[in-house]
Structure 1
């Protein structure tokens, strides 16, 4: 071999070595390298994408999924035809796409759902150019909206627990049930502050107070997402709903304009969003409502200046369902679907849900120079980062066996019972009427429209099991007492939130039911009334032809007549109220000695109510929302301004029926020795407030100790009091505990006249007690 040949071989070997090294280096810097950060992987993948592929990452399909499902089964050939450039998101792959599927939102079993999700992912990973997995979102308001999923109390009920640990436990289960079936993103939690209970979506919220909603919202976010940059197989990306002012729409009408000033928007309605952003939430959904005269989805000030710049949010912004389409059909800001997409994108929306309407035309605007590719890249990078964080590229498939074994299992059911138990609020209990003594009752009558119903509430599917109060009573006590039942009245023609049109049962149809109930009640030693509302009376108004809000909070359709005739019998009578919103129950409260607010408690409704009735559990809930005396008393929230609530004429009462934070127990608690570590606090300091609480009753129980603060005099008017701390404590009979709260400057701050976040020196009143009405107070002075 001569020198030239030697040289050629050496050069060839060097080339091979360099090629190998560059390949290894490229692999090390590739989006497929698990050791790189999500940001590095996203940037690498983005560099390989075409404009068409990028824009498809901003699209979603829900009803459009039917294009690539054939007789209920995923069809890869159809998907290749309709989605040659892939797609960013799919909605609810656990839905049964079969044309003969029964009912709205019919879903597959956990095993079938997991298998179908795997089929979908396999196509996008193996049959698209870059193999980008699809992000699947699911509903999980109080349990996944899917067959066999564990159904927990509605959020307004869970909020009544005032228990962050319980909320975290509940939503950790929801996260797993969603993830094990193939979902990655949950459209929850709802952190809207609700100030008008006529609104049909009140049940979806966690109350009227931003501090309480913030604490419980953060607990949900942490439960859904866990810890760490990369989420494990037990967690999903959370989505805050609904950014803007959703909970105080004009007239209580869903999606109506919100006439709220900027200071109140920031301090009240956006405070829970800020705290959840600080906790690392990955997604935010925008509200339908307009704010300051501009629809929220087209409101650049809201979505960019406030959300991105002021609040420091870096995650994904998704539209609410069909909100971009609403620009054309509801808000009337443009007649063009193409311009609607452009307007939403330029205002700060990253992904259009649930189907592409306006966003499908974004490529045209890029080619016309109205949208830069750099703007597209910024959004797509956020989407890719989330997909990497969720592990879609590294572990995209789920185990159908695990889904089948975990979803709706007994351990999850046990937590659902515990949540139902802590969600009930005892509103009245004269002379310790409750609990009943099961050994002294020979005949008991359950009377009312909700006695034999287990009401799950909205955004629910069918769990593996559910039980009504009547069923639970018969199961547990039919060998000890005779059980009687009468419906009394029927409320609606359907018991579902889904039909477009829902009607009250004709009032005259209930006359015979009331008569029957009275005759049955005459035979009983004790009567338990089950009144209130149901999942159809007040619900999400999901379209112009599907109303869901109410102009009244009254008990409907003859319930008051039923109550009066039953009470007239003179027999021992108590009542449980099921509803998703506060109701005007003054008539009921006046006539019976004991009333329990039971909300919609989920699948374990029956067991929880019957156990509370007979003292197997001690109710510990507190109201997360004020109960007004009537719809005419709205707004009724406790944190009103000093010039409000002057009173009504003719001696009519302006006070609430039950105040925020209120709730009784089967035991009694005594508050004493309220003290403060210092009566003066410098503007860079912290002080501690303490109170002693003792169980002076005859059984173990839990109490929620609440701290409120009032800025006595301020340059901008401040509420008469604001919740700034709470702690739930469990005490045995005779046991005492000292509860401590730290007061920091953040708890005293507000936006001044120039919209600066400040603390003004001066006097503050610190109040501690069992509700917003029942408090002891102490003074604090803040100095420079």
Structure 2
């Protein structure tokens, strides 16, 4: 594909009027454009923008229109109206799949499988690109420690190291190695810069107040990983950072993102974030909001019109230098050039190929595999796996529900979804009379008729499979919840079923870690399914019947109760830590009514087999800059089923210049073991892995003692000590 050079782009810029340049900095949804048949993807408030048809015709990009024929029509109509023939960029939130929907990102994080994550992003890109899209607003790499926040479902969890690995994998999958010539790829936009996941109280769009050291140590690594992988765009966050809203935060965007981290791509606001500078209280009107955002380096304003209405006058009055407009527009033009749009404005849009590629069997197979690796077995007293000859009572609001895609599954269609009852019947190869189904309750309501019918069905069964959870609208953007238990109606259903004293297998569908009190303590087995995507029901059934041995491990802790939140494994110690030897010591850092530790810790997950860990062996007692440390252990499958263990290595800096976490994930290895098989697993620990941000923000390591932990999760580990020497 032919691209133009920088001189040609500069020449194009010189031909543009000031208004045409500023129009390139405007992004609108599909309903504004002639030829669009629908509103497109709406992800924020629809307010009247008060802009002219001429401005719409000159707009630089469009949000949320999918479908090759639609995109081709709108692009061609746009090119007829644009004086200089500058094509638009088509963007959308393709977060975990286009038409083939994969598990939500939080679930993908639980696979601990970067290759499958990259493959899922590549498939999402392929389906998006052939359907006419050029940019996806993904990956979201916000570190999250508060499950009350609805958008936790878009994150890969609470750990900066694991999040960084997935950030890189997603960017590689979306963009590939040659974005210009590979029209099956799309440009990636990392979001939300910065620290959006740290909102107070887990409330959407809320204030973030954290130290510079916290920002750099825990929240920046995953953004940096995406940038280092070549991510083409960055989206601003809605929240404040150090007291200033991100979208108007010059220090954050120009000094940190561009100057320090070296980002030279396109910076786009989130939906309406520019005009929201007024509500934040840092801009008195739209003109002031436009001024702050452009000074901060925001290139594209999404779905508000502060730029097009006010930047022309701000430039002509001398308050804003036109060079700021030029640098922003040049970045936008450069992105269009990288995408090959000047040579081929339609890029990969192809209605015929779209019909063959989108939601094809090959893509669905990968969705099924990733879903099966993302499910986490939280409890099993021996009732799983199920046997084909068993009579199953499948009960609950998700027994026949197609609401299993989760938020941000814009193009996913319920008519393509297999329900859990159908999948179980197909898997077990038994008649419908041996799979008895009752709803039992709704998501948040229950009637006497419902639970009595459920009891009648359950009495006829050998095993009850209880399918419960949140609706997809209970998480995602705007889905913050103060009470993260299952709705009371579903807890009542469990209480009724428990009176029968029959084995209960609970399958939980949700977009966040939940308080599982009333479920985990009453069920004989609990399978965390998340929102598993297009092939979720089949993948879950593969696990229930033992055709797939569960290998998912939590990428985010599950609390005992919401009062623990935020609860995360890599926390600091206190001056009065609770000691196992003094459980009743009131004057220690503890709760009187629940444990300090989460119900299920980071890295946790069960298997249908058992793994035994050998002693940890160290290659030396000390480590230097030039001499890394080898940490070795032997893992044995002591059960009678082949299984995958995720061997995890954590490190603690015993004494630091500032307080250091109790554990930090530094490496892991997924190991497949046959029954009775043993394998040696070895990790290399380097001095670089021991560095952290000191009080002066220098990024160095300290000599002294360290603990290395190896085990099945962040809680169940063995420990050895070594020293860093210099």
TM bracket (short chain): over 0.9
The separation in 1 between residues aligned to 2:632 and 2:159, in whole angstroms, is: 23
Equivalent residue, structure 2, for 1:90: 62
Question: Offset at 1:681?
Answer: 1.8
Q: Is the 8 A contact 2:192 2:235 kept in 1?
A: yes
Give how far 1:438 is off: 1.1
SS in 2 for 1:160: helix
The structural deviation recorded for 1:771 is 0.3
What's 1:406 paired with?
A: 357
Alignment of 1:157-236 (within 5 A): 157-228=107-178, 230-236=180-186
SS at 1:386 equivalent: helix
Aligned to 1:350: 299
1:629 maps to 2:570:
no
Once the two structures are superposed, the pairs formed by residues 146-157 of structure 1 within 5 Å of their partners are 149-157=99-107
Q: 1:54 aligns with which of 17, 21, 36?
A: 21
Within 5 Å, give how 1:371-520 maps onto structure 2: 371-397=320-346, 398-430=349-381, 432-439=382-389, 441=390, 443-454=391-402, 455-461=404-410, 462-463=412-413, 465-477=416-428, 479-480=430-431, 482-491=434-443, 504-505=444-445, 509-520=446-457
Higher radius of gyration, 1 or 2 = 1
Contact 1:683–1:759 (CA under 8 A) maintained in structure 2: no
Q: 1:744 to 1:519 in 2, by over 3 A?
A: same
Residue 694 to residue 566, structure 1, CA distance change in 2 (3 Å): same
Distance 1:118 1:525, change over 3 A: same
**Stretch of structure 1 that moved more, 752-761 or 464-473:** 464-473
Q: Which residue of 1 aligns with 2:45?
A: none
8 Å contact kept, 2:610–2:639: yes
Provide the C-alpha distance between the structure 2 equivalents of 1:366 and 1:433, rounded to a whole number of angstroms.
Answer: 70
The aligned residue for residue 249 of structure 1 is 199
Report the Cα offset of residue 679 of structure 1. 2.5
* Contact 1:532/1:583 (<8 A) preserved: no
Q: Check if 1:324 corresponds to 2:274.
A: yes
The residue number in structure 2 matching 1:754 is 696
Question: Of residues 68, 76, 99 in structure 2, which corresponds to 1:122?
Answer: 76
Q: CA deviation at 1:627?
A: 0.5
Q: Distance in 2 between matches of 1:73 and 1:261?
A: 41
SS of the equivalent of 2:263 reads coil
Tell me the SS of whatever aligns to 1:528. strand
Runs of 4+ in 1 over 6 A off after TM superposition: none
1:522 offset after TM fit, Å?
1.2
Residues 716-755 of structure 1: matches in 2 within 5 Å? 716-755=658-697
Say which of 681, 697, 700 aligns to 2:642. 700
Measure, in 1, the Cα distance between the counterparts of 2:630 and 2:429. Answer: 53
1:769 to 707, 711, 714: 711
- Give me the whole-angstrom Cα distance separating, in 2, the residues matched to 1:207 and 1:313: 24
* C-alpha distance in structure 1 between counterparts of 2:237 and 2:683, whole Å: 34
In 2, Cα distance between equivalents of 1:307 and 1:138: 23
Residues 352, 359 of structure 1: 8 Å contact kept? no
Q: Report the counterpart of residue 528 of structure 1 in structure 2.
A: 465
Partner of 1:712: 654
1:141 aligns to 2:95 (yes or no): yes
Task: Identify if the C-alpha distance between structure 1 residues 613 and 737 changes in structure 2 by more than 3 Å, giving closer, same or farther.
Answer: same
1:479: how far off? 2.8
C-alpha contact 2:146 2:198 (8 A) present in aligned 1 = yes
Q: Which residue of 2 aligns with 1:13?
A: none
Secondary structure at the aligned position of 1:574 is classed as strand
Tell me the residue number matched to 1:3. none
Number of aligned residue pairs: give it. 699
Describe the SS at the equivalent of 1:648.
coil
Contact 2:19 2:308 in 1 (8 A): no
CA contact (8 A) 1:124 1:133 kept: yes
Deviation track 1:368-391 (CA, whole Å, cap 9, x = no partner) reads 111212222211121111111111
Secondary structure of 2:537's counterpart equals helix
The Cα offsets for residues 170-215 of structure 1, whole Å up to 9 and x where unpaired, read as 1100001111111100011110111110111111111111111110
Conserved 8 A contact 2:179-2:186: no
In 1, Cα distance between the equivalents of 2:89 and 2:229? 22
Q: Which structure 2 residue ranges, 5 or more long, are not aligned?
A: 41-50, 579-587
Query: Once structures 1 and 2 are overlaid, which stretch shifts more, 662-671 or 47-56?
Result: 47-56
Structure 2 residue matching 1:627: 3-state secondary structure = coil
Identify the match of residue 573 of structure 1 among 504, 525, 533: 504
Q: 1:341 — aligned with what?
A: 290
- What is the Cα deviation at residue 292 of structure 1? 1.7
Q: Which residue number corresponds to residue 34 of structure 1?
A: 2
Quick check: 1:342–1:362 contact (8 Å CA) kept in 2?
yes
Whole-Å separation in 1 of the counterparts to 2:484 and 2:36:
46
C-alpha displacement of 1:458: 0.6
Residues 247/510 of structure 1: CA separation in 2 closer, same or farther (3 Å cut): farther
Looking at structure 1, the residues matched to 185 and 672 of structure 2 have their Cα atoms a distance apart, in angstroms, of 30
3-state SS of the aligned residue for 1:324? Answer: coil
- Matching residue of 1:363: 312
| Distance of 2:101 and 2:695 partners within structure 1 | 46
Q: 1:100-129, CA deviations, whole angstroms, 9 ceiling, x for partnerless residues?
A: xxxxxxxxxxxxx21221122223445433
- What secondary structure, in the 3-state scheme, does the structure 1 residue paired with 2:301 have? coil
Q: In structure 2, how many angstroms separate the alpha carbons of the residues matched to 1:686 and 1:382?
A: 42
Q: Distance in 2 between matches of 1:566 and 1:158?
A: 32
Cα pair 2:189 2:232 within 8 Å, conserved: yes
Q: Give distance in 2, aligned partners of 1:81 and 1:265.
A: 43
Separation in 2 of the partners of 1:331 and 1:127?
Answer: 37
User: In structure 2, how many angstroms separate the alpha carbons of the residues matched to 1:679 and 1:359?
Assistant: 64
Q: Is the 8 A contact 1:552 1:630 kept in 2?
A: no
- State the 1:36 CA deviation: 5.8
Provide closer, same or farther for how the CA distance between residues 51 and 628 of structure 1 changes in structure 2, counting only shifts above 3 A. same
1:653 deviates by 1.8
Q: Which residue of the partner structure matches residue 583 of structure 2?
A: none
TM-score (norm. length: structure 1): 0.86
Match of 2:531 among 596, 600, 617: 600
Asked if the contact 2:625–2:686 (Cα under 8 Å) also holds between the matched residues in 1, the reply is: no
Alignment check: 8 A CA contact 1:586 1:657 kept: no
Displacement of 1:574 after TM fit?
Answer: 1.4
Instruction: Indicate how the Cα distance of structure 1 residues 41 and 272 shifts in structure 2: closer, same or farther if over 3 A, else same.
Output: farther
- Secondary structure of 1:562's aligned partner: helix
- Classify the secondary structure of the residue corresponding to 2:416: coil
Structure 2: distance between partners of 1:247 and 1:371: 32
Deviations 1:471-495 (A, max 9, x none): 212333363561111111112xxxx
Q: Is the 8 A contact 2:648 2:668 kept in 1?
A: yes
Matched-pair contact (CA < 8 Å) for 2:687–2:724: no
Following superposition, the deviation at residue 48 of structure 1 comes to: 3.4
**Offset at residue 708 of structure 1 (A):** 0.8
- How big is each residue's C-alpha offset from its partner over 1:508-534, in whole Å with a ceiling of 9 and x where there is no partner? x53332222122211211111112222
Q: Is the 8 A contact 1:319 1:349 kept in 2?
A: yes
Task: Say whether the 8 Å CA contact 1:751–1:758 is kept in structure 2.
Answer: yes
- Could you list the per-position Cα deviations for residues 316-368 of structure 1 after superposition, in whole angstroms to 9, with x for gaps in the alignment? 1110101112122x313223112211111112211111343344421211111
Q: Which runs of 5+ in 1 are unaligned?
A: 1-32, 95-112, 492-503, 542-547
- Distance in structure 1 (CA, Å) of the matches to 2:35 and 2:304: 16
Distance of 2:360 and 2:248 partners within structure 1: 43
Q: 1:614 aligns with which of 514, 526, 545?
A: 545
